[in-house]
Structure 1
């Protein structure tokens, strides 16, 4: 049992702070593009109102919920869980290499750099089955990418992320692994647990009211990058894992599912290679 549980407000505040502190790829947007996209979004809302015959009490409830999401700092959580997977899907239409997935709200930059063979920082009594993930980073022509970085983070054996749960030490189960001269890496960690997104705030209230479940399947988060190549944002899942086919964030893909095999000592071993495409000239 954990000694403390993260609240939606606490996780939301941490996610908002992390988002603001991290550089994000942005582009100048023309007035025409803003008008086009916003008009399409509003048209979708208007169509839903007409099709579902929304009542004034329902409209007022929605307005109150939107206010509560903002006051609770839950916009990163809500957008990452319910919207980001479609943005990623559109981006993938023009990309090659390893399949991507959502970033999610729990990324924290500037973690400890580790060699190609490394163990993620963890507590001495870290709960969970040991897991060794190994592989190689290559370009789309098969050339190994020496010095590529795998920025890896994950939940612990209880489903909590460091930086978003008060009982976890900073940097727990987070690190940046740098590949060797052949683009290879081997990282030792633990198999993460599935987790439910915080449900004590307005996002959780929406999930409960709609009769949905709040669970994400167990997964490893990765940002894989190398100079001159497109950064990949992805997640690796586990074959047979709970919620794999009903992820609340709709972010799973069959190409991203690991099938770890146990060694003689019970440690799980999995291999996964990453392929990065070159940046557009």
Structure 2
């Protein structure tokens, strides 16, 4: 079939058969995606076996709860960020800390505190470096933003996230910090590790067929929000990781690479109360003021709530 014949067939099956109330946006999307899929079947001569194996793959990925991981690994989430950047530029929105992907591992409801939070439960203190992350939240003119909501989450030394990894305590390495009167936040935690896709999982199975690895560099995720400002979804990646610019999820961006500095000064160690040398990262955040008729930065998606 040619494209004209395909479009006519899809319309006959999925538009002309409607007998009830139609959600026009859903209809528009379904018709377009089906027409493109049918065209791909024609162009690539996709067999029935290949089609059904593809459907089985999505069923397995859904059952394994890996569709969010797959969206990151195939670059879909990064592509949406690039589209959002373009939409901001068209709306005249500039500046601010760069956005990057949320990923599939956020959990709502992390404990809240003002100014400072200890994120780790102490279970890895003896085998991994303590890390202090601190920064200031400002607007594009450099004005501090007190009471900004800074949600932070990251993996443990094994590359695993609490809630999904049942061996960890509730909300380990997950906190919400409200900036203090000076717009500052400080998180005491442990050095995060990068991770790889489950080696026997559905995402890595597809990546294997594409000749790709499934590894992420060491990183820390953020949601940052404040009344009157555009919500920021971002993360920083840590300098020195072998996958820093080879992130399977394409999340590393200029402006989001930080250096973990070794702190060995005895006075500073004593001031922090940690008893030994530690790592320190500075990550300042710049929010952009909300603008009328600008594309929203809120994304309505299913998220875990513990």
Q: TM-score range by the shorter chain?
A: 0.7 to 0.9
Worse overlay, 212-221 or 90-99? 90-99
Q: 1:72 corresponds to which residue?
A: 64
Assess, with a 3 A threshold, how the Cα gap between structure 1 residues 41 and 98 changes in structure 2: closer, same or farther: farther
CA contact (8 A) 1:81 1:104 kept: no
Q: 2:279 corresponds to which residue?
A: 268
Alignment of 1:160-175 (within 5 A): 160-175=160-175
Using the TM superposition, give the Cα deviation of residue 149 of structure 1 relative to its aligned residue in structure 2, in angstroms: 1.4
Using the TM superposition, give the Cα deviation of residue 122 of structure 1 relative to its aligned residue in structure 2, in angstroms: 2.1
Q: What is the CA deviation profile of residues 173-209 of structure 1, one whole-angstrom value per residue up to 9, with x for unaligned ones?
A: 1101111111012222112111012233322322223
Alignment of 1:45-194 (within 5 A): 45-46=37-38, 48-82=40-74, 83-93=76-86, 94=88, 95-96=93-94, 97-126=96-125, 127-194=127-194
Q: 1:236 corresponds to which residue?
A: 236
Matched position secondary structure for 1:254: coil
Q: Unaligned 5+ residue runs, structure 2?
A: 1-21, 265-275, 293-306
TM-score by length of 1: 0.81
Matched position secondary structure for 1:58: helix
- The whole-number CA distance in structure 1 between the counterparts of 2:63 and 2:160 is 23
Assess, with a 3 A threshold, how the Cα gap between structure 1 residues 110 and 244 changes in structure 2: closer, same or farther: same
Using the TM superposition, give the Cα deviation of residue 57 of structure 1 relative to its aligned residue in structure 2, in angstroms: 2.9
CA contact (8 A) 1:137 1:183 kept: yes
Q: 1:249 corresponds to which residue?
A: 249
Q: Rg: which structure is higher?
A: 2
CA contact (8 A) 1:220 1:236 kept: yes
Matched position secondary structure for 1:134: strand
- Let me know the Cα RMSD of the aligned residues: 2.2
CA contact (8 A) 2:204 2:213 kept: no
Matched position secondary structure for 1:186: strand
Q: 1:10 corresponds to which residue?
A: none
CA contact (8 A) 1:128 1:192 kept: no
Using the TM superposition, give the Cα deviation of residue 66 of structure 1 relative to its aligned residue in structure 2, in angstroms: 2.0
